[in-house]
């Protein structure tokens, strides 16, 4: 019996499928996934990654095999997060290597490092989904007499740039959040970078440095113990665990800054795989267990599909670039 021309076309086209596209149609995953993150174990990003990895492994399991192929978290710190970005960007685009991206490596480093950046996240990575965000908190110690943000701004204006503030390092979320605050307030202060939040907060508590913006988990115990004063939170509504602490926006309208987390994959990852990852991540964010795990790190779910996440990243880059330039922030 003759073969109809239309029936023959799919047979002729089949050999043209690329290996990646062909694999995307098969059973995926069939081995463990790697979730790379740019920081050391024990921090907020690490905790968010491990909580998500557990849920993601279950969500991606084949029928009757939930959790068979784990999501293995790998910490690859260094170069302001660029080492992890480079590792994932250079990995095979097959859906088995993921990046836990956040504000610094993804939206800040292209401006901060400029031509010295080996990999451009915008072209080397494809966004899959936004996962969570966490508020930051402005705290003060005995190095300032301020008990409110307005008083801190007034004191900074009095001291004409001589007031100092700490950060976990150049370009860190806390550094940029304070730079934005100072620019909106029209005052100057001296930046004192540390290698991590803990040593910076220690010096704020000792009165060596006046103030610092840091993540909620890093300051919660110090505030509750009366060691530090929480002057304001950087999100646009009060934080339940810090009752009575106002937002920065109540003093500086329009101000908002957070630390955020999202998943990206190497550019060129087949769309069926990227879409399945997106659905699994967004579905996992409804889990009470994951919500609870995020809450312990001061984070809240911030579900956003890949396309919207990509626009968000672009907006963040455009937003922080002038802040970095105006503050004269450079890489370490």
Summarize the confidence of residues 37-51 as an average pLDDT: 80
pLDDT of 114-172, one tens digit each?
888 899 999 999 999 999 988 999 999 999 999 999 999 999 999 998 999 998 888 88
Residue 114, pLDDT score: 86
Choice between 322 and 22, residue whose per-residue pLDDT is larger? 322
Structure confidence at residue 9 (pLDDT) = 43
Which of 49, 90, 95 has its CA nearest to residue 72?
A: 49
* Res. 14: pLDDT tops 70: no
Q: Do 129 and 277 meet the contact criterion of CB atoms below 8 Å apart? A: yes
What's the pLDDT tens digit per position in 52-107? 988 888 888 654 455 567 899 999 888 888 999 999 999 999 999 999 998 888 99
Give the pLDDT score at 2.
45
CATH topology match: 30-133+259-327 vs 135-250: yes
Assess contact for 185 and 248: CB atoms under 8 A.
no
Can you give the pLDDT at residue 62?
54
pLDDT score for 231: 97
Give the rounded percent of residues in the chain with a pLDDT score beyond 70: 89
Asked if pLDDT for residue 266 goes beyond 50, the answer is yes
Superfamily of 30-133+259-327 according to CATH? Bordetella uptake gene, domain 1 (3.40.190.150)
| CATH superfamily for domain 135-250 | Periplasmic binding protein-like II (3.40.190.10)
pLDDT of 10 above 80: no
Query: What residue spans define the domains of the chain?
Result: 30-133+259-327, 135-250
Top-confidence residue, 7 or 163: 163
Q: Can you tell me the mean pLDDT for 29-45?
A: 84
The 3 state secondary structure assigned to the chain is CCCCHHHHHHHHHHHHCCHHHHHHHCCCCCCCEEEEECCCCCCHHHHHHHHHHHHHHHHHCCCCCCCCCCEEEEECCCHHHHHHHHHHHCCCCCCCEEEEEEHHHHHHHHHHCHHHCCCCHHHHEEEEEEEEEEEEEEEECCCCCCCCHHHHHHHHHHHCCCCEEEECCCCCHHHHHHHHHHHHHCCCCEEEECCCHHHHHHHHHCCCCCEEEEEHHHHHHHHHCCCCEEEEECCCCCCCCCCCCCEHHHCCCCCCCEEEEEEEEECCCCHHHHHHHHHHHHHHCCCHHHHHHHHHCCCEEEEEEHHHHHHHHHHHHHHHHHHHHHHCCCCC
280-325 residue pLDDT tens:
999 999 888 888 888 877 788 999 999 999 999 999 999 999 999 9
- HSE (side-chain half, CA atoms, 13 Å) at 32: 10
Q: How much is the pLDDT for 15? A: 43
Q: Minimal CA–CA distance to 49: which of 326, 314, 297?
A: 297
What is the model's pLDDT at position 210?
Answer: 96
Structure tokens at 136: 């930051």
Residue 11: the pLDDT is 41
**At a CB cut-off of 8 Å and minimum separation 6, what does 240 contact?**
none
Judged against a pLDDT cut of 70, whether residue 29 lies above it is answered with: yes
Q: What is the pLDDT of residue 26?
A: 58
SS3 29: coil
Taking only the tens place, the pLDDT of each residue in 208-261 is 999 999 988 888 889 999 999 999 999 988 888 888 999 999 999 999 998 899
Average pLDDT over residues 174-186: 94
Per-residue confidence (pLDDT) for residue 65, from 0 to 100: 56
Q: Give per-residue pLDDT as tens, 72-84.
A: 999 988 888 899 9
């Amino acid at each position: 019996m003759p073969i109809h021309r239309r029936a023959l076309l799919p047979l002729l086209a089949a050999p043209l499928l690329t290996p990646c596209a062909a694999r995307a149609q098969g059973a995926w995953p069939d081995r463990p996934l790697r979730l790379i993150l740019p920081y050391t174990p024990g921090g907020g990003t690490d905790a968010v990654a491990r909580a998500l990895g557990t849920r993601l492994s279950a969500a991606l399991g084949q029928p009757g095999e939930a959790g068979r192929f784990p999501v293995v978290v790998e910490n690859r710190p260094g170069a302001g997060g660029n080492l992890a970005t480079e590792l994932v960007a250079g990995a095979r685009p097959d859906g088995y290597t993921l990046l836990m991206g956040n504000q610094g490596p993804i939206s800040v480093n292209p401006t901060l490092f400029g031509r010295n950046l080996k990999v451009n996240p915008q072209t080397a990575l494809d966004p899959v989904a936004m996962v969570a965000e966490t508020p930051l908190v402005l705290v003060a110690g005995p190095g300032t007499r301020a008990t409110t943000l307005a008083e801190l701004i007034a004191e900074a204006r009095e001291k004409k740039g001589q007031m100092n503030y700490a950060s976990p390092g150049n370009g860190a979320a806390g550094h940029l959040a304070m730079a934005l605050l100072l620019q909106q307030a029209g005052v100057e202060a001296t930046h004192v970078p540390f290698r991590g939040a803990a040593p910076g907060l220690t010096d704020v508590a000792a009165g060596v440095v006046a103030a610092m913006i840091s993540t909620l988990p890093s300051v919660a115990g110090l505030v509750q113990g009366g060691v530090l004063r929480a002057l304001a939170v950087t999100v646009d509504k009060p934080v339940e665990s810090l009752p009575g602490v106002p937002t920065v926006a109540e003093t500086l309208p329009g101000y908002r800054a957070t630390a955020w987390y999202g998943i990206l994959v190497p550019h060129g990852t087949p769309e069926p795989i990227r879409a399945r990852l997106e659905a699994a991540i967004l579905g996992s964010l409804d889990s009470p267990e994951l919500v609870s795990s995020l809450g312990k790190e001061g984070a809240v779910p911030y579900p956003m599909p890949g396309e919207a996440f990509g626009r968000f990243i672009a907006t963040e880059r455009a937003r922080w670039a002038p802040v970095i330039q105006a503050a004269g922030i450079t890489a370490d």
